[in-house]
Amino acid sequence: MTLNLTTDPSAATLLPIAKKEGISTVWDRHRAMQPQCGFGQLGVCCRICWKGPCRIDPFGDGPQRGICGADADTIVARNLIRMIAAGAAGHSEHGRHVALALQGVSQGKLPAYQIRDEAKLLRVAAKLKICTEGQEIQAVAAAVAKATLEDFQSQDHDAPCNWIEATLTKERLERLQALHVVPHNIDAVITQIMGRTLVGCDADPVNLILGGIKGALADFNGMCLATEISDALFGAPAPVVTAANLGVIKPDAVNIAVHGHNPLLSEVVCEVAQQMDEEARKAGAKEGINIVGICCTGNEVMVRHGIPLAANYLSQELALVTGAVDAMVVDVQCIMPSVAEIGACFHTAVITTMEENKIKGASHVSFKEETALENARQIVETAIEAYKRRDPRRVNIPDFKQTAIVGFGLESVVAALATLNAEDPLQPLIDNIANGNIRGIALFAGCNSTQVAQDSSFVTMAKKLAKNNVLLLATGCGAGSFAKHGLMTQEATVEYAGDSLKAVLTAIGTSAGLNGPLPLVLHMGSCVDNSRAVEVAVAVANRLGVDLDKLPLVASAPEAMSEKAVAIGTWSVALGIPTHLGTMPQVTGSAQVTELLTQTAKDLLGGYFLVELDPELAAEKLLEVIDERRKGLGI
């Protein structure tokens, strides 16, 4: 039974325990929800006014218009772009938070934070065309924060947001500008989506989708700034060896799971936990404090500090079922509300930290950057207290963990390549793409979903693509899947990579001092860190003098679920990248919207959505796309 729900080996140990204890998990609730609403699945249910809900009959013999007159195309388009707006809001709010923290640091107001990576801050400043000559680092930070916050404030509709302008190829920017989809102000674009989708507003599906694309590009802008400023504050990732899956939880330690997305909280918790290690030992924990990550917060601290990853999205509840997590501290996004109830079945303190993200039944520590150290201390103290209440008889830590070599961004990829060619680090990558040793590049992103057996589509597709010499990058819960299943190891490269890919990964890894190949899948970080993959792609495109839609580059979200994934997938298409979805998007009730996203987009943008639920077939289709792109480049 377990096999259909998840391929994570930890679940086989923990699901029977959950059952015995009467704890319902995400998979139980998924089952109880069957059959799911067919109108919702098609995207033809409208609830945006109280004359409704209205639903369009997909078979044509019932209503074809809602009470106000909206047809299926309008309803589907409105629903979709509201999802994009929500995704963009989540990422951009995270970005704003980080930008304000940088501003606070520049003003000397935040003792818990510093600029740990000055070189990165200088690179960011240069990218934003900020003059840094003769400037103190604080002044550079202030200028970067100001330019970034302008992206939330500008009222000049014709001027692109600073970050998107600094990030894309010139050709891409012009192409998007010609379609009037380049955001000038993240907040304004999100507000416009909400406004234009009110009852009785924009009813033209094409116009709505273009508005959605603008929202998705606002999402991209927010992700770029969130990632790059986090690097300046906490350090750009460098390769580090760590581990993944629930076996990273230690029986003799105070285990604190950091869960959510924003590194402002988790970074300080990690630092304070180190200082309080002795207190945990005094409480009887022989191994002190053990921080483990869940979801994208987990990815953030994993790629920067080698903190092990306990779980990706679908196994977050199982972390609690181990009975050995003393505190789960959460901030924003992808936190199942069920964790409070499951924590209460054990001794676990589930602690929310953000004013706008509380969970009924959880305790709350109001986290503020100004008081971050104090807040983190309170959180760690709570964990130590909870540890004292842990019942060792209820501890069941599955004996599963895999080594994972993680920490790849533009900087670390270029640094590794520079060991082969210091003058022109990108040349070896380009040569190997050109000669076919690397057939193409695939970025795996996105979530887990109960619509797919957890992690299975990621793993199946990656093995097939790697065998066909496709270089694999990953972020978010996709990266979590690969880490848990041992695909971020050198052994995986030896076992699964095709011969020519293996030779390239071995040459780079060996020359970069890894004593062997690079891992089969390169972990680029959290979901907001998808911008890292774009940075690499833009660097390659600029070096070749072509736009992104010419590169043999594809993206895939085989287990997509969140509104954030909808936003990411849409900007990926807008940047010219063919983007695979392995779960059915809720748009198929409109033939027009479906065609726009899967076909018309190709002419307008170069990128398009490719939907294929079967992972084997999906990998084959992506290989065809890669070959088509290679042909276009004449290689």
Residues that bind ligand SF4 (CB under 6 A): 46-49, 51-54, 66-68, 70, 75, 199
CA dist 550 and 168 (Å) reads 14
CB 408 within 8 A of CB 522: yes
Closest CA to 307 of 323, 296, 322: 296
Q: Is 527 part of any known ligand binding site? A: yes
CA dist 271 and 289 (Å) reads 11
Closest CA to 485 of 596, 590, 403: 403
Nearer to ligand BF8, 165 or 300 (CB): 300
For residue 353, what are the β-bridge partners?
Answer: none
Note whether 303 binds ligand BF8 by CB under 6 A: no
Q: Which of 145, 244, 311, 447 contacts ligand BF8 by CB under 6 A?
A: 447
Note whether 288 binds ligand BF8 by CB under 6 A: no
Q: Is 270 part of any known ligand binding site? A: no
Nearer to ligand BF8, 43 or 478 (CB): 478
CA dist 313 and 334 (Å) reads 7
562 binds, among ligand SF4, ligand BF8, none (CB under 5 to 8 A by kind): ligand BF8
Q: Which of 26, 80, 309, 477 contacts ligand BF8 by CB under 6 A?
A: 477
Burial letters 499-522, b for 16+ CB under 10 A, else e:
ebbbebbbbbbeebebeebbbbbb
46 binds, among ligand SF4, ligand BF8, none (CB under 5 to 8 A by kind): ligand SF4
Residues 6+ positions from 587 with CB-CB distance below 8 Å: 42, 43, 76, 80, 593, 594, 597
| Least distance to ligand SF4, CB of residue 591, Å | 18
Q: x/- binding map, residues 401-440, to ligand BF8, per CB under 6 A?
A: ----------------------------------------
Note whether 295 binds ligand BF8 by CB under 6 A: yes
CB 292 within 8 A of CB 256: yes
**Under DSSP, is residue 40 helix (H, G, I), strand (E, B) or coil?**
helix
Note whether 99 binds ligand BF8 by CB under 6 A: no
DSSP for 185-220? -HHHHHHHHHHHTSTTS---HHHHHHHHHHHHHHHH
Note whether 527 binds ligand BF8 by CB under 6 A: yes
| Least distance to ligand BF8, CB of residue 609, Å | 17
48 binds, among ligand SF4, ligand BF8, none (CB under 5 to 8 A by kind): ligand SF4
Q: Is 54 part of any known ligand binding site? A: yes
Cis peptide leading into residue 585 (ω within 30°):
no
| Least distance to ligand BF8, CB of residue 447, Å | 3
CB 402 within 8 A of CB 484: yes
Q: Is 161 part of any known ligand binding site? A: no
Q: Is 131 part of any known ligand binding site? A: no
Closest CA to 169 of 536, 567, 569, 632: 536
Q: Which of residues 556-585 bind ligand BF8 (CB under 6 A)?
A: 561-562, 564-565
313 binds, among ligand BF8, ligand SF4, none (CB under 5 to 8 A by kind): ligand BF8
Q: Is 224 part of any known ligand binding site? A: no
Note whether 313 binds ligand BF8 by CB under 6 A: yes
527 binds, among ligand BF8, ligand SF4, none (CB under 5 to 8 A by kind): ligand BF8
| Least distance to ligand BF8, CB of residue 560, Å | 8
CB 250 within 8 A of CB 280: no
Which pair of structure tokens corresponds to residue 550?
């010419």
Dihedral-angle region of residue 106 (phi above 0 means left; psi in -120 to 50 means alpha; beta otherwise): alpha
CA dist 191 and 214 (Å) reads 12
| Least distance to ligand BF8, CB of residue 573, Å | 17
Amino acid at 264: L
Nearer to ligand BF8, 334 or 404 (CB): 334
476 binds, among ligand BF8, ligand SF4, none (CB under 5 to 8 A by kind): ligand BF8
